[in-house]
Chain A
């Protein structure tokens, strides 16, 4: 009886709509700053802390969803109920049908399955995979895998703010599938997915959209987007790590590119992590309910950051779409001339400020971010600042207080002062 009540509690946690006890405002501590242990965590686009709703659902599901959901005895059926409830919840938020949703072990795995599975099912239509030049590495790695297996890849360029021209996405002869992100992970630019989908569909070509940046951060509806496949990653929206979402719309030709078993309707092999999936669904439902209240606050931080940076320092190039309507609203990127990205990260880290960089000196391979290169942006001195539900005004203030001094210090050390004002 107690068990039954707990299962119904878990199902309730998953039900769409506002979750009681989870205030949309950040739980600011005495300092006014947000993420425990980090004075200013501003890298929410890399990963974001577990949502309280996800934590609560996780704990319930660890107790009640531990058994094999493919088994028919009572414990198995309980796990199955939770898995089904999670699937319904995710489908509801994304405007999909439950049988269109599968869970993978990561967003990367979901993107690989989406792209390669569609290419496999449509190999008679051709061997071309089209991708934008600014896709996440998971999509580009899947495309590279397709190329190594003998297929062809066509890369579609972007403009200076990182956006594709829908006309540039005209499918070439023999295109099996195309992939266009919903929004860019480094600069936040929203892509014209619906327009591209329409053009592709006119030629009978399906579209995958990597929505890892947008799911749980702005309203995402599979059918409004017009994409045939959509993928996302739970840890990007307050779910636990280890859960990816793969949506394959009914009628889309898709075949597993690798071994299959009976799990996830034959789409994703291997034992599913039911508690983590339940937690991911709870996070997504909670995020969907909070978005309307939170988005203006985070967009305000981004707008202020973009306004103040050029006032506070010389030679800073703001990246992405200057029009807030064309951007996700919680990510902002910029590059500082004559500065190493690595030195910026280190200087900010000393002050307890966590951000990320697309500059080459911050990567292992010494090559700059392919996104910045495709945009024609300055690749050195690059920073990406990304806000999340826990972000506060104090986080932004900490960054704006510290960054100009760090930039001045690095430029002085490199002897890069007095090198002339902008435009000669």
Chain B
């Protein structure tokens, strides 16, 4: 599965790198817009949820990727 340019592909990267990738890319996300993260580290699921809580952002959707790993869609609230 090939990511589209608007996807942050952190598959194969270990904790906490996927969260750092998400945070870095989030800097260019406008309020109300979303960003998509792909990650397959077992800690990514809980850590994306925790990051959203700590940063006051919204985890809109999570799904399993057919090729392994998970997709997270995060919206900037402010």
Contact = CB atoms under 8 A, between A and B. Distances in A.
Is the A/B pair a real complex?
A: yes
Interface of A: 315, 317, 335, 337-340, 359-361, 366-368, 372-373, 376-381, 414-416, 419-420, 422-424
B76 A376 contact: no
Given A360-B42, A377-B50, A380-B43, A424 B56 contact: yes
Contact of B54 (A315, A379, A416): A315
A376 B56 contact: no
A375 to B, nearest CB: 9
B27 A378 contact: no
Contacts of A339: 16
A376 B14 contact: no
Contact of A414 (B20, B49, B56, B78): B20
Contacts of A366: 14, 41-42
Interface string B36-49: 00000111001101
A376 B20 contact: no
A304 to B, nearest CB: 23
A377 B49 CA distance: 9
13 contacts: A315-B54, A337-B19, A359-B15, A359-B43, A360-B41, A360-B42, A376-B50, A378-B46, A378-B47, A379-B50, A380-B19, A416-B20, A423-B56
Nearest to B14: A361
Contact of B16 (A376, A414, A420, A422): A414
Top 7 A-B pairs ranked by shortest CB distance?
A380-B16, A378-B50, A423-B56, A419-B23, A368-B43, A380-B15, A360-B43
B23 A416 contact: yes
Interface in B54-78: 54-57, 76-78
B23 A379 contact: no
B55 A422 contact: yes
A376 B14 CA distance: 19
B63 to A, nearest CB: 19
Contacts of B16: 337-340, 380-381, 414, 416
B42 to A, nearest CB: 5
A415 B78 CA distance: 24
B17 to A, nearest CB: 7
Contact of A372 (B24, B46, B54): B46
B15 A361 contact: yes
A424 B47 CA distance: 17
B10 to A, nearest CB: 13
Nearest to A377: B50
Nearest to A341: B15
A360 B20 contact: no
Contact of A420 (B26, B43, B47): B26
Nearest to A365: B42
Contacts of A423: 55-56, 78
Nearest to A343: B16
Contacts of A415: 20, 24
Given A367-B42, A420-B27, A424-B77, A414 B17 contact: yes
B7 to A, nearest CB: 19
Contacts of B24: 415, 419
A368 B46 contact: yes
A420 B47 CA distance: 17
A414 B14 CA distance: 12
A360 B17 CA distance: 13
Nearest to B26: A420
A380 B55 CA distance: 16
Contacts of A424: 55-57, 76-78
Given A360-B43, A367-B43, 17 more contacts: A317-B54, A337-B16, A340-B16, A360-B15, A366-B42, A368-B47, A376-B46, A378-B50, A379-B15, A379-B47, A379-B50, A381-B16, A416-B23, A419-B20, A419-B27, A420-B23, A424-B56
A360 B77 CA distance: 29
Contact of B51 (A361, A373, A378, A414): A378
A416 to B, nearest CB: 5
Interface centre among A337, A366, A423 (most CB of B within 10 A): A337
